[in-house]
Amino acid sequence: MNRGSHVKRVMTPLVGAAALITLPALGTVPATAQTHAAGTVRLAHLPQQAQADQLTGRLGSQHAGFYVDDTGNLVVNVTSAAAAEQVRATGLQARIVKHGIKPLTAAKTALDRLAGSAGTTGLSWGVDIVKNAVVVSVPKNDDDAATQAFVKRARALGQTVQIRRVPAAPRLHLGPGDAITTGGSRCSVSAIGVVGGSTEYVMTAGHCTNIGATWSAGGQTVGTREISRFPGDDYGTIRSAGQVQLDNAQLTEVGRPATGTQIQKKGSTTGTTSGRLVGYDRTVNYQEGAVRQMIETTACSQPGDSGGSLQAGNIAVGITSGGTTGGCGANFQSFFQPLDEALQAQGATLK
């Protein structure tokens, strides 16, 4: 695992979620979200996206997903002029593409069967709606025989697959410092969940909670590990010990915004960074094992940001897992565990 530099800071006894997930600490902000009964994660209501979901359901194999373009418009990919007319009749924009969602999904499924096999460590892949292809990201300096053999197998799946060279392999973000700590390691907070209206949980990365049971901040105990899932997934929950005040700052909803949406990441190493949501359902092959159904973005993240918050305005989206280390230049990738899955596993809702 890639470890960041040690950071020493003095923190006040009351530490809000904003203080835990950003540098410098900005203090607490009262949450405006209503507490819901445990067991059901209510996703944000996004009317235009719901309309696109219904439309693509009617189009069946003639659609190839939808995304938000650079001007903020929702665009639906289709494979025929007739389908494009159906889309435009609803007031949405249509784009005619070569590959429908079925061949794209089939190619991605075929690659997923090879996850964790020789040649896949350091690689990631998923359906890129904008590129209308399954994009396989390969580190530029990774040219050993096993990787070359895997790339050859991927290319053999046909024109639905594109190979993209990226600066470096994704690594899990973990480093010594502050934010939330266990032993000599530091991670970050994604969001605060609640069960039964009173029992609070810190949501963070599973590869973080795997390494320690008791977590602290500012010299006080945050809580103890309850759920830890990694690899396969990458989420963990920490049951609050009641010593640290926790809140979600401006986050009031949980959701999965459309591909192309502008997003922000908050973490204890790089603070708040912005980028674009590239896509969902990414398979990422870390050295420690493969994880599936991840979110890919272009927002900068580095070691120590693990467990941090992926958000779009007031919508809580994901938990920072990993990404390109050593800088945030061209073709940077960052990966996130969907937050709704982690909340559901704990039987929690957003506080």
Any idea which residues carry the catalytic annotation?
Answer: 207, 234, 306
For the residues of 142-201, what is the DSSP string, one character each? ---HHHHHHHHHHHTT-TTEEEEEESS-EEEB-BSSSSEEETTEEE---EEEEETTTEEE
Q: What is the C-alpha to C-alpha distance for residues 233 and 188, in angstroms, rounded to an integer?
A: 17
Reference 256, options 230, 307, 293; nearest CA is: 293
93-96/74-78 β-pairing: parallel
Amino acid at 310: L
Q: What is the C-alpha to C-alpha distance for residues 292 and 315, in angstroms, rounded to an integer?
A: 22
DSSP state of 263: E
DSSP state of 103: H
Q: What is the C-alpha to C-alpha distance for residues 110 and 117, in angstroms, rounded to an integer?
A: 13
